[in-house]
Chains A and B, each alone.
Chain A
Amino acid sequence: MEREHDSPTATAGRRHPDEVAQHDQPAFAGPRQGPLHHLRRIPNPVFAWLLMVPALVFLGGFTVFPAGSALWNSLQEPGLDGGVGTAYYEQMLGDAVFRRSLINNLLFSFITVPVSIAVAMLMAVLVNRKIRGRGLLRLAYFTPAMLPVVAAAAIWLFFYQPNFGVLNTIARWLGFEGQNWLGSPSTVLPALMVMMIWHQAGFFMLFYLAGLQLIPPELDEASQLEGAGRWYHFRRVTFPLLMPTTLFASIVGLANSFKQVDFIFVMTQGGPNNASNMLLYYIWQTTFPQRRPEYAAAITIVLVLILIVLALIQIRLFERRIHYR
């Protein structure tokens, strides 16, 4: 990093002509010293750190410190005179609601993310071709992603409503028995998964569309010349070249599937009997309604560990199969 001194001529040039006349300065004054000229004595590495101070303060205050204090809180022993220990982590082992939430969350993540990605890729490939009404189709696919999750949840709450909901109305019209979609433990989680896939597939489609634009058209022509089928072309050319996008989408999707629980507040409150409870919602429940912040901190630490491990696995797994250009 090099910070040049202003040259005298440049400085003079910037001055207003009147000013020179007023002060009657000699033609060769030293370099003009601005109010910050003392900073120039600071060695570069120190200066670099100083520049980063504002960012570090925010990072420290809003990320590092809370994370540290969550870890510290989670390691308290219950009771006023408790020391440091792993009591809250041991409590977690025996907590059926925690287990249920964890299993639900893993099921939810490992189903919604791959399915959303597959649907997104399919939609992207479909609307990337030159077909009539392409813009309209893209818009239609993307519309759900523009809704806030809460709004999507409120809409689907009424889709799933057992008496006058759209889904059951259609089912009865076709002669089927209606289901209490959100009110019975066997259907509630799949129902929420469908909503989530509907909501996020359009968002991932956008990334795939961008990814598809980056694939050189020559490859397409080459495949045609070689007489490769469409499926073969997709499998051997398009799919591998979309791998970086897939990695990105799967990491974002997986993180989101653990982070987004707004829809549970709107649709099920974790019920019936925790059949749709998830980790973050359970963390909220233990922090606020139950007022067990230390226990919530312990679950938070576990959640963060899960996310880190999943991200590492993903990156490792994809590393070998990605062709960055």
Chain B
Amino acid sequence: MRIRPTSTVAAVAALALLTAACGSDDGESALEEATADNPIEITMYYPIAVGGPLQEVVDGLIDDFMAENPEIAVQAVYSGNYDETMVSVQTAVDGGDAPVTSVLLSTEMFQLIDDDMIVPFDDVVTNDDEREWLDSFYDAFMANSRDHEGRTWGIPFQRSTIVQYWNKDLFEEAGLDPDHAPQTWDELVEIAQQVQQETGARWGVQIPSSGFPYWLFQALTTQNDVEIVSADGTEVYFDQPAVVEALEFWLSLSADHGVHPSGIVDWGTTPEDFLQGQTAMIWTTTGNLTNVRDNATFDFGVDMLPEGVRRGSPTGGGNFFLFADASEAEQVAAMRLIRYLTQPEQAAEWGIATGYVAPLPEAWETAAMEEYVSGFPEAAVARDQLDYAVRELSTYARGQIYEILNDALQGAIVGDMTPEEAMRHAQEQADNVLGVYQN
């Protein structure tokens, strides 16, 4: 069962009629007929969520692609942050002017499938080379790119995980080994206590909880060895005892151990807290690596998150999607562009420029990447953590599920509800929303 705006139905229907009227169009042959003088034109939307002059890097990559493929003309449209890009895409699709491809949060997958907005790459690839390409990425990233039936709906492009950053100078001042980050939950509490007592740091550790607390919470649940979402995106498991336990551990950092600020910790200002020495450790995305490296006035380290029952972090970040409203020829052209951008050389260049984790193992074997990592070993931490990474929370009716879980987490953090009440309430609400998707 599907709930959707009537206007979309009308727009899609109109487009379908139009496409039908134009006759069946064979992607391959249309693309073969395209020439440099009469190229196939494709539009690509992309967001930028980290700092730096990255538009130039994108333009450079696109120019290289067009030089190699003169029969394809790419118009790359910078479209703000992820939310803004999603809004642009939705509006464009409703208006019958969908882009051919866009980078969007990988977790949008089920919602986009539900809205009939995207097509799987399996339907667009044409030869064995391209089929192999679909299997060339890290499994941890494909967990948010493939559905439970193995169809590939997204191609990993700018992906990340959560890592811990620590201030080596403060550790040394507190009499701790500056090269040793906490490896377990217990150690996290001990080290945080010691560094908070012995130094001027106001807090031992900060785990941000504004905006999208579900993401950081999922690191804790994974470490407590519990899955909160099913592979097909129709079920969530918020009210299991292990999930409640993970939340209780988060709250205990401030309530019992006093090493973490109480109330909501802002995502955006947490790196600044770290840079100013207000907190000795932070949990945040690898995407902040470049920012911290450029602005830290002290020695800092980056390591995998500590383990509870096990190690773990969700992945995050953006995938390429192909839109259903585009013609087959456009889809094939876009697929070639995406394939080009995720070749080892280009993926390495993008990873180095942004701090995102290059999404395929071969990229890490390129000369450029090896040189980068030897000078800056912290960059490889997120890649190594991929062995322990899990699928980021992604469901049908994603926006509603996110709001339900985020509100529950914040409610528990500020003391409106106990962790158990919050999670039970979230589960009930989520079941209500997801009921229509379960068979």
Contact = CB atoms under 8 A, between A and B. Distances in A.
Interface of A: 73, 76, 78-80, 97, 157-158, 161-164, 180, 182-185, 268-269, 271-275, 285, 288-294
Contact of A158 (B202, B261, B269, B399): B269
Nearest to B6: A76
A288 B272 contact: no
Interface in B252-294: 261-266, 268-269, 272-273, 276, 278-279
A204 B410 CA distance: 36
Contact of A272 (B269, B276, B397, B410): B410
A183 B263 contact: yes
A73 B6 contact: yes
Contacts of B210: 183, 268-269, 271-272
A290 B402 CA distance: 9
Most buried by B among A183, A184, A273, A288: A273
Interface stretch (B56-64, B82-90, B220-228): B82-90
A183 B266 contact: yes
Given A163-B279, A164-B272, A273-B411, A294 B266 contact: no
A265 to B, nearest CB: 9
Most buried by B among A73, A163, A164: A163
Given A268-B210, A269-B211, A285-B403, A291 B111 contact: yes
Contacts of A272: 209-210, 263-264, 410-411, 413-414
Interface in B387-425: 397, 399-400, 402-403, 406-408, 410-411, 413-414, 416
Nearest to A288: B87
B3 A78 contact: yes
- 3 closest A-B pairs by beta carbon, nearest first, are A183-B263, A183-B264, A290-B399
B117 to A, nearest CB: 11
Interface in B90-111: 90, 111
Nearest to B91: A288
19 contacts: A79-B1, A79-B3, A80-B2, A97-B403, A97-B407, A161-B269, A162-B263, A163-B202, A163-B273, A163-B276, A180-B262, A180-B264, A268-B210, A271-B211, A273-B416, A289-B402, A291-B115, A291-B399, A294-B5
- Overall SS of chain A's interface: loop
Contacts of B90: 288, 291
A94 B185 CA distance: 40
B203 interface: yes
Nearest to A266: B268
A203 to B, nearest CB: 27
B261 A288 contact: no
Contacts of B3: 78-80, 292
Interface of B: 1-7, 83, 86-87, 90, 111, 115, 202-203, 209-211, 261-266, 268-269, 272-273, 276, 278-279, 397, 399-400, 402-403, 406-408, 410-411, 413-414, 416
A161 B4 CA distance: 40
Given A184-B264, A289-B402, A274 B407 contact: yes
B264 A182 contact: yes
Contact of A183 (B203, B273, B397, B414): B414
B400 A273 contact: no
Most buried by A among B111, B266, B411: B266
A173 B17 CA distance: 70
A290 B401 CA distance: 9
B211 to A, nearest CB: 5
A293 B5 contact: yes
Contacts of A80: 1-4
B261 A290 contact: no
Contacts of B2: 80
Given A161-B269, A164-B272, A288-B86, A180 B400 contact: no
Nearest to A163: B278
A185 to B, nearest CB: 5
